Amino acid sequence: MTDVVPAFTLTSMAITDDVLAAYADTPDPRLREILAALIRHLHAFAAETNLTASEWQAGIEFLTAVGQKCDADRQEFILLSDVLGLSSLVESGNAADGATEPTVLGPFYLPGAPARKMGEHIGRPEDGPATLIRGRVTDTGGRPIDGATLDVWQCSGNGRYDIQDPDQPRFNLRGVFTTGPGGTFTFRTARPVSYPVPVDGPVGDLLRACQRSHWRASHLHAIVAAPSHRPVTTHIFDAENEYLDSDAVFGVRGSLIQRFTPAGPQDPPDVEFVVDVDFALAPV
């Protein structure tokens, strides 16, 4: 006996074929490839779940609300990508062999952070315990890179970034450092704390509906870059943090977890903790 194919499947297959054919002559080959895969997977999702018209409408309204929540300081679409694990997946898929592992950019990156002098504190005493971050930037062969930049940012001790908190000055806990001879860098900051991702928008509604944690493991962000090398967007995670196994955006990598060691007599007297960490960049 011949199997009977459900009408929904037959109809969806015909529509999918028609849509794919309509985009088949897209001149840019990479755009053509991405669109074809997107169409196939979106259509397969709708067919597999037997998506109803009301569910489709709810999805449209949700995505509309995500867009309406975006502004110059907040990117709700990046937050959505983060909590669905897509950001983490894309970053991992673009990791370079031998280089520092990448992780999510997050929704609070702010371009234009000021250039800072080596060793400078990017925050204020009230932001948290003073911490010295020091190390080297090298290539994947261990050769130091002179002139590499570290664009770093983090939240304050109250769990909020400057763009979320009117009591913080603009570009608080943000700065760009440039390595000197030997690829070395050093700067002072506050020991980072855990914080909740924003839940006052549609992404928060999604997390509550799924009974998911909205807490991020404490971390410092860094974009490390140098001429003729692939930049890496990465984190420094605190090894003692309680959310390393349940980070809301799936951003933790074992290689990025560092010890915040209490400062010793050989360390500067104005810091409480010290982190020794190196970054490696792959050639272009």
pLDDT tens, residue by residue, 58-115: 999 999 999 999 998 889 999 999 999 999 999 999 999 999 999 999 989 999 999 9
CATH topology of domain 78-281: Protocatechuate 3,4-Dioxygenase, subunit A (2.60.130)
The pLDDT > 70 percentage for the chain reads 96
- Domain chopping of the chain, boundaries: 7-51, 78-281
The pLDDT assigned to 157 comes to 98
State pLDDT tens for residues 261-270.
Answer: 999 999 999 9
Tell me, what's the pLDDT at 127?
98
Distance CA 278, CA 254 (A): 15
How many other CB atoms are found less than 10 A from the CB of residue 255? 10
pLDDT confidence tier of residue 13, bands split at 50, 70 and 90: confident
Looking at residue 4, what is its pLDDT? 55
Instruction: Give mean pLDDT, residues 148-166.
Output: 97
Answer whether residue 225 shows pLDDT above 90: yes
Tell whether pTM > 0.85: yes
Distance of alpha carbon 145 from alpha carbon 139, whole angstroms: 7
Residue 258 pairs in a beta bridge with 238
Place of tokens 């702010």: 110
Q: Residue 175, exposed/middle/buried by CB under 10 A (0-12, 13-18, 19+)?
A: buried
Compute the distance between CA of residue 114 and CA of residue 246 in angstroms, rounded to an integer: 33
The pLDDT of residue 12 = 72
Using CA atoms, how far apart are residues 59 and 77, in angstroms rounded to an integer?
14
- Asked if residue 255 has pLDDT above 90, the reply is yes
- 160/86 Cα distance (integer angstroms): 24
Measure the CA angle with vertex 254, ends 116 and 136; round to 5°: 35
Length of the chain: 284
Angstrom distance (rounded) from CA 259 to CA 265: 18
Through-space distance between the first and last CA atoms of the chain, rounded to whole angstroms: 58
Cα→Cα distances 185→42, 117, 145, 188, Å: 46, 10, 11, 11
Taking CA 106 as the corner, what is the angle to CA 70 and CA 136, rounded to the nearest 5 degrees? 145
279: β partners = 137
pLDDT tens-digit profile of 175-200? 999 999 899 999 999 999 999 999 99
pLDDT per residue over 113-154, tens digit each? 999 999 999 999 999 999 999 999 999 999 999 999 999 999
Average pLDDT of the chain? Answer: 95
Q: What is the pLDDT of residue 7?
A: 52
Note the pLDDT of residue 107.
Answer: 87
8: pLDDT confidence band, cut at 50, 70 and 90? Answer: low
